[in-house]
Amino acid sequence: MDTCRIPENASKCSGNTMECFMVLSTQAQKISIGILCGLFGTMCVFENSLVLYLIFSSPGIRKKPSYLFIGSLALADILASIIFVCSFVNFHVFNEAGFSKEVFLLQLGGVNTSFSASLSSLLLTALDRYISISRPSEYKLLMTRKRAWTALGVLWVTCATIAYLPLLGWNCCVLDSACSELFPFVDDNYLSGWICLIMVLLGCIVYAYAHVLWRARQHVAYMEKHQAQAGKQNTRMRMDVMLAKTLVMVLAVLMLCWSPVLVLMIYSIFARLSDHLRKVFAFCSTLCLLNSMVNPIIYALRSKELFSSLRRVCSHFRRQLKASEESPEAESTHKSSVIET
């Protein structure tokens, strides 16, 4: 077992670094965490997988950069849910501490990569909506599928590189520095830098969406004034405005679900956390699954294209189900006619 400097308020752990972070003390707490993770995680994987299927099974939708970014967001939420639920439940519920420092940092890097990619995908979507609304005549030239895929590739590589820095050596065991009170083996300076990165991303997203909403309001006023002569262009503007409002709802849910976690992370850098606050952090961490679970619901309710694709898939499934139910009857009818002949 790797050992390094442990939090001062966890000195009673007798040198076992991993056990110092197992803060759930009662069976009721462990059962509650297990149920929340199981429910949110299962729904998140199902819903986001459905979003990916709806996007990439429809040629008209998957060609649009906006939905490529939404697909990246759904993929990040799926990966985060799977990695988070497996590692979080295994650690806090089953108290499994037999794995090495490298394995834990590998799991933590996967969660950080997925969340960072999710946030970065929202930022790319915000920029995409801003270009679409502010420069509609040049949008198709500026935002091509090739540029969208390139941006997504750079996004995921950058997020993975930053998330796996602790595994590559920036951890408190290698540096013999102060460890975080919330995460085993994580250096406080790295956690501070990661929080700053996340805050910068959130700030950029809020700034971009402020401009998107401002431009959207201008377009709404323009459409009301020139309704008769705008025609097709107004229809596309309405779709842009609708998608912009949808993604603002996604951002609002993101801020609501992740604010408690980020606040406690920031607080842990400047002050010592009590055992009660560390338990609160463990329960607040499950809100990330709630966020990932709510996002696809917002897409289905707000995006007409995704909703139409979902209705087509459901109707196709109903037709197949009806055909499979009728096929045995048709087969028996065919057999009886052959016997009579």
pLDDT tens for 175-186 read 877 888 888 888
Task: Read off the pTM.
Answer: 0.81
With a cut of 70, say whether residue 250 has pLDDT above it.
yes
- 18-36: pLDDT as tens digits: 777 777 878 888 888 888 8
Asked if residue 284 is part of any domain, the answer here is: yes
Would residue 254 count as lying in a domain? yes
With a cut of 60, say whether residue 229 has pLDDT above it: no
**pLDDT of 227 over the 70 cut:** no
Question: Does some domain include residue 325?
Answer: no
Residue 119 predicted with pLDDT over 80: yes
89-100: average pLDDT: 77
CA-nearest of 209, 211, 188, 191 to 199 is 191
- pLDDT at 95 exceeding the cut of 90: no
pLDDT digits (tens, 9 = 90+) for 259-293: 898 899 999 888 888 888 888 888 888 888 888 88
Geometric angle at alpha carbon 263, from 88 and 245, rounded to 5°: 90
Please indicate, yes or no, if residue 338 is contained in any of the structural domains: no
What pLDDT is recorded for position 157? 96
Q: Which helix (H) or strand (E) holds 209?
A: helix 188-225
Number of domains in the chain: 1
pLDDT of 158 > 90? The answer is: yes
Task: Specify if 218 maps to a domain.
Answer: yes
Instruction: Give the whole-number percent of the chain exceeding pLDDT 70.
Output: 81
Is 112 part of any domain? yes
The set of residues, in sequence order, having a beta carbon less than 8 Å from that of 101 and lying 6+ positions away, is 2, 171, 173, 184, 185
**Domain with 215 in it: what CATH number?**
1.20.1070.10
DSSP state of 26: S
- Domain span at 125: 24-226+241-304
Distance CA 57, CA 69 (A): 16
Is 154 part of a structural domain of the chain?
yes
Return the CA Rg of the chain: 25
1 within a domain of the structure (yes/no):
no
